[in-house]
Chains A and B, each alone.
Chain A
């Protein structure tokens, strides 16, 4: 630490104070953007496994005498299951029981007696081995020959639009992080320039008595890093508070409309590293600025 702090008595003027505030605001923004990007990426990841890993086959109910129709439908389901099981790369084939299906439909149809008598489509859930992709239209055609009106649903059509939207959101969030980083760098460069101007007589003197450029630069790097770390630390704490608050509000809604907004341990590590990145950025920016200014002297 002593090595980094440097013993040259260049005071930290008002420049580092304003730098601290700006670093706080910038880290706050960057953490929120990054959290948004990570949440969306996690969501895409989950959707993606769902899309590529599962199929749902809907077998339409036969009509007619209830008992007879039910038997026919069951036969259709059995045939479909048998056919699907033959395909390579299938991990499991599950027929959803009637109770499960009714539970799925209950929010939309209610649970009255009348609904209980409605003929319901049967659902077959197919889980594929990892990395296996099925040719859905071909499967659809071959199954239609066995069970008329069968529907193979790979969620892809439904989800692909959402995934494009989510990817765009996440790209936007990353763009914002990059912008915040750029603005921070420019601010640091300007703050360093004004600090250099304020202390120029002293810097000239230090140069004249044999201070190495990097020793002078190190002093400013330390001041910049300290401002970025303290300001950025405060920004991180505020942003974390905001994330917890939003997360809590989202969980209270308890609805399928809002997807699970969760951040894993790795995500939190990434968020916590933002002030550190800000400090490294400040070090790089001050170093560049100071060395460039000193190069003008012999």
Chain B
């Protein structure tokens, strides 16, 4: 991958956290509270899992970070910017710093795998030549070298998932959110896919992965945020830094090619 080392040696403690929830509550129109007065923060460069039963509100929580909706009350800050009060026209630039793997992929039917992955770069206004180079490299890396021009409908579920992940990481976002990114693949491939997130995390991205695959989470010693009854609990090492065990697990998973 063409990612270069960045920010690794700077002192992160004095910078504002990548994600900061302060007494955030959320409920839909007439529904019950999905999140009740929750507070936590994700330091820059941290790696967390977000767990909870189906319907606990994991996707809802991610949608707040990814600026798809505003909380009903409380304050949410990204990189110290209060996004709950920020004017609407500053949000696009913040969104570009947040990569998102949708639970349902949201690939565009009429665009090839390559063009799907290229979208964030097009939005950022890169030139065609550079876009092609970056995307080809990444698709090669996730093992889709032979499927670059394939339409999503002709790809298997796992391949579609890899396209969705590639699209989320192509612009090297400062925050990477993934909603059940390993839902469609067996544990071996799931571990391989996590390699990408770990790579990105090593380069400074803050990673938050929602999953209800407790088995997978247990195999890694990464800290974990658990949603239950609209409240959030922190489980595991507080540092939020990847443990040796995760590194081992990934190495054990082997190469993607």
**A interface, CB within 8 angstroms of B:** 7-9, 11, 201-202, 204-213, 215, 295, 297-298
Contact = CB atoms under 8 A, between A and B. Distances in A.
A9 B89 CA distance: 22
A210 B115 contact: no
Interface size on B, as a range, is 20 to 34
Given A209-B95, A215-B123, A201 B69 contact: no
Interface string B95-113: 1100010000010101100
A9 B122 contact: yes
27 contacts: A7-B122, A7-B125, A7-B128, A8-B123, A9-B115, A9-B122, A201-B108, A202-B108, A204-B106, A205-B106, A205-B119, A206-B123, A207-B92, A208-B68, A208-B106, A209-B100, A209-B119, A209-B123, A209-B167, A210-B94, A210-B123, A211-B123, A212-B89, A215-B123, A297-B68, A298-B88, A298-B91
A297 B70 CA distance: 11
A210 B93 contact: yes
Contacts of B67: 298
In the A-B complex, the 3 residue pairs with the closest CB atoms? A210-B96, A210-B95, A211-B123
B66 interface: yes
Contacts of B95: 208-210
Nearest to B97: A210
B92 A210 contact: yes
Given A8-B122, A210-B123, A215-B123, A205 B108 contact: yes
A206 B119 contact: yes
Interface of B: 66-70, 88-89, 91-96, 100, 106, 108, 110-111, 115, 119-120, 122-125, 128, 167
Contacts of A204: 106
A211 B69 CA distance: 16
B92 A211 contact: yes
Contacts of A8: 122-123
B178 to A, nearest CB: 14
Nearest to B106: A205
Between A7, A9, A209, the greatest number of chain B beta carbons within 10 A of the residue's beta carbon is seen for A209
A209 B100 CA distance: 8
A11 B92 CA distance: 22
A5 B67 CA distance: 28
Contacts of A208: 66, 68, 95, 100, 106
